[in-house]
Amino acid sequence: MSAELICINGECRARFPVTEVIYNCPRCGALLEVDYPGRELNPEAAKRLFRERRMDNAPLNQSGVWRYRELIGFLDDYRQVVTLREGNTPLLASPRAARYGGLDRLAFKHQGFNPTGSFKDNGMTCGVAQALRLGMKRVACVSTGNTSASMTAYAAAAGLRPVIFIPHGNISYGKLAQALEYGARTLQVEANFDQILALVRKLAEQLGIYLLNSINPFRIEGQKSIAIEMMDQRDWNPPDWIVLPGGNLGNISALGKALRELVDLGFIPRLPKLAVIQATGAAPFYRFMQDPRPDNFEPEREPETLATAIRIGAPVSWPKAWREVAASGGAVEQVSEEEIADAKAQIGAAGIGCEPASAATLAGIRKLTATGVIDQGADVVAVLTGNLLKDPDYVYRYHTGQLKTAAGHEIHGHFENRPEVVPNDPEKIAVLLAD
Ligand code: F0G
């Protein structure tokens, strides 16, 4: 199968070989994506093949990304692929979370079950495969934490040298700990994500380091598998809505591209609507979508949210995200710190759990059902992007009434669950536990 890079700008549409090391269109500067000219697949045969591969022990077929390789076929040789068995994440129905969100039913596609605990692994196995194909020795990213944890793991497994740039003081220890353990050269920069991305893009070019942020179109190809696997798990019946948190807007771009391709190839009958939820303090895409015009995108200069994963003010993939939300007839919402914190506690109380950014989905659903954008009876899947254990500090503070915003504003959670200190005295404990 032949693959090419194509500029997403409708007036440019320049094409380049997939082996060129470029992240933006050299002609007009717009974003690039992978295109498969003339690709044709027999959907029924492919669906059967994907099912058979689930029962196969070959590493590539055990991967919830590479199992679907005909739909992400930018490589022509798979021998160098490094898989940590990414993907294979469950769809978990939760009546309790559905009630909280104002729905009759709701399922979570839980990407926190990935090898490094976030959805980044789906894309990173592809990004690192491309780095190997290009003969790169070092890979780099700026990250709010999950990208750096994932990139470092895959780079380490592939024998590449990872360099990560993170906003000093603004990533959770769970994520930083992973990167240190997997062996990243770790630079904590005194700047925010957006400022560091500008810096890293210059440095990557100057030093010949391969950039693995979500601007990298091969990572987006890998993240498509989140939607592909979701459809496979639903026997190729699309839901009415898919809801996900938005930060740098790479994931919405990936899911939207996957779903459009699945419709075009005849795998699914229609596009689900896509909803993106942002934190109020880091919601430039939400504001843009109130009056979307190409020259109207205003970055948030000082993004602020305790959901540090999505603390991003200048999301690079906004033009792709706009295209996908518009194509699906979807929606964009913003939610407060308190709404995120409470929704997160509800997802936890359902026995599922996730990190703060992921919980923006349920908080957003609650708002979108209240305003009638999503019907109570709709079939909805929310993507939980990261594992509960990514940010235990946040969890502890919430449940002990100590969660505060950067400006010192206290968050009054409605579902606190305080630990109790008790004497080493069975009688007193028995009194406490008498129901
Ligand atoms: N949820 C989590 C847990 C994330 O880590 C991120 C992004 C997002 C949602 C938003 O996804 O950027 O594709 O819109 N984390 C990046 C990182 C920025 O560096 O780990 P997006």
Q: Tell me the per-residue pLDDT of 208-217, one tens digit each, with 9 for 90 and over.
A: 999 999 999 9
Two tokens, residue 139: 């890979």
Calpha distance 221→68 (Å, rounded) = 11
CA distance 216 to 198: 14
Q: What is the mean pLDDT of residues 127-139?
A: 98
The arrangement of strands across the sheet holding 32-35 comes to: 15-17, 4-7, 32-35
The protein residue whose alpha carbon is closest to atom 15 in ligand 1 is: 309
- Range 150-162 average pLDDT: 98
* pLDDT, mean over the chain: 97
Residue 10 has pLDDT above 80, yes or no: yes
Alpha helices by DSSP H, 268-425: 284-288, 318-328, 337-349, 356-370, 392-399
Distance from Cα 307 to the centre of ligand 1, integer Å: 10
Pocket test for ligand 1, best of 146, 306, 322, 358 (most atoms within 8 A of CB): 146
Give the residue, out of 251, 334, 388, with the most ligand 1 atoms within 8 A of its beta carbon, to mutate for a pocket test: 251
Q: b/e for 374-386, b at 16 or more Cβ within 10 A?
A: beeebbbbbbbbb
Helix or strand run (H / E) with residue 245: strand 241-245
Is the model's pLDDT at 150 over the cut of 90? yes
Produce one character per residue of 30-68: b if its CB has 16 or more CB atoms within 10 Å, e if not: bbbbbbbeeeebeeeebbeebeebeeeeeeebbbbbbbb
Residue whose CA is at the smallest distance from ligand 1 atom 4:
309
Distance CA 174, CA 390 (A): 5
Confidence grade of residue 35 (pLDDT, cut at 50, 70, 90): very high
The predicted-structure confidence for 167-197, as pLDDT tens digits, reads as follows 998 899 999 999 999 999 999 999 999 999 9
pLDDT at residue 435, as a whole number: 82
Q: With contact defined as beta carbons under 8 Å apart, do 362 and 100 qualify?
A: yes
Any idea which residue has 């990213």 for tokens?
Answer: 141
Mean pLDDT, rounded, for 219-238: 98
At 297, the pLDDT band (50, 70, 90 cuts) reads very high
Counting residues of the chain whose pLDDT is more than 90, the rounded percentage is: 98
Does the beta carbon of 385 lie inside 6 Å of ligand 1? yes
Torsions phi, psi for 118 (to 5 deg): -150, 170
Is it the case that residue 385 has pLDDT exceeding 90? yes
Residue 1 has pLDDT above 90, yes or no: no
Burial class (CB in 10 A: 0-12, 13-18, 19+), 414: exposed
**What's the CA dihedral at 314, 316, 319, 320 to 10 degrees?**
-130
Q: Whose CA is nearest to atom 6 of ligand 1?
A: 309
pTM of the model: 0.98
Model pLDDT for residues 345-384, shown as the tens digit of each residue: 999 999 999 999 999 999 999 999 999 999 999 999 999 9
Q: Can you tell me which atom of ligand 1 is nearest the CA of 355?
A: 3
- Cβ of 144 closer than 6 Å to ligand 1, yes or no, is yes
Is 245 a pocket residue for ligand 1 (Cβ < 6 Å)? yes
Please write the tens of the pLDDT for every residue from 37-92.
999 999 999 999 999 999 999 999 999 999 999 999 999 999 999 999 999 999 99
